[in-house]
Structure 1
């Protein structure tokens, strides 16, 4: 696996890290795997730039597992895809003897990585994973990285010319069987964009039609 030519990006090479990389590379599409590696890189760069104290190994596992809930093996799940990924990461870490507090950090970071307004006030691994996923998918914090950093990361783990549409399609494929799980998140945007028959749940209507309104 090509490593970027930036000393600020250190890919952990412990047995746990290598097994996590191999597992996710086998389970995910190339698009999701490369996205996950870029997410780790953006997070590591931002963490070192901002002087945050974080565990690179935990951040790597969080980045690798954060979208695992979108893959074929979870097509029968009715949970939020973030929870599927968080549970899988927890099982992986527990099987490798990682302590409970560290496991909880990774679980929360993955489970909340699509929830705006909360992760940035949590531990560094959660804050960095949230920022880095937004950076890679939607370009949030794009200008906080230098041209050299962006080139190094995308040369090591290419986005490809069709990433923007492909990631939308990937989210849709992973969510269309469980539309109820997208309520209260921006994940319903993927369903609305791809399915003309999808109807968003309206909380105000739910309140006005609740048993309390009878």
Structure 2
């Protein structure tokens, strides 16, 4: 797998990207902000898996907002992927992105946990699925260059991420027992998260 330098996953200098980052920082704990930034970086680091270009502005906005449904920015009445997708789509339109771009961001957020589906979709959807899965559960880590992995972790530390994500997911399952995440938990997703220790020993 190719080495991807930090310059490749810096935050794009566009209003939509900067405002999306500011929004997430306002409503999310630090560990969730850094998880979203690592998901963006890891997704780009695995671009070789799909061999297609991505709209970097769209990819960043979708990646940084992909867990906004876990925060108080949304109503917390529906499954967090769906609420987050609707909020992210509306945000993208407010920032002047096209309807097509906003629709893609919606699908990125809605499908980022969809095992067996996301990897067959648009490259932005697939790469967010790969990036988020690598960060939370250690999936596809072998597809990230070791130097890239170390540098991403040094740039966006994961202190508190494991415990924080488990708590957020448990809260979602308690609030919404019929949500997609409840099924994931029943299948052992939290056990996978709890075992994931790559940030402490990413070799």
Residue aligning to 2:17:
17
Where do 5+ consecutive residues of structure 2 fail to align?
A: 192-203
Q: How far apart are the structure 1 equivalents of 2:185 and 2:92?
A: 27
Please state how far the C-alpha of 1:190 moved relative to its aligned partner.
8.0
**Aligned equivalent of 1:65:** 65
Matched, 1:102 2:108: no
Structure 2 matches for 1:100-179, cutoff 5 A?
A: 100-160=99-159, 162-179=160-177
Structure 1 residue 96: Cα displacement: 1.6
TM-score if structure 2 supplies the norm length?
0.83
Structure number with greater Rg is 1
1:187-202 alignment to 2 at 5 Å? 187-188=185-186
Gaps of 5+ in 1: 194-214
**C-alpha distance 188-90 of structure 1, shift in aligned 2 (>3 A):** farther
CA spacing shift, 1:137–1:91, aligned 2, 3 Å: same
Residues 120-175 of structure 1, C-alpha deviations (whole Å, 9 max, x = no match): 11111100011111000001111111221111101111012x43232111211234
Deviation at 1:47, TM superposition (A): 1.8
- How many residue pairs match? The answer is 188
Q: Aligned pair in 2 of structure 1 residues 11, 77: CA closer, same or farther (>3 Å)?
A: closer
Preserved contact between residue 20 and residue 61 of structure 1 (Cα < 8 Å)? yes
Aligned CA RMSD, in angstroms, stands at 2.4
Structure number with greater CO (CA < 8 Å, separation at least 6) is: 2
Q: Which residue of 1 aligns with 2:184?
A: 186
Distance in 2 between residues matched to 1:144 and 1:190, nearest whole Å: 23
* Structure 1 Cα separation of the partners of residues 63 and 185 of structure 2: 18
Question: Scaled by the length of structure 1, what TM-score is found?
Answer: 0.79
Could you tell me how far 1:43 is from its partner in structure 2?
Answer: 0.9
Q: Which moved more, 1:164-173 or 1:19-28?
A: 164-173
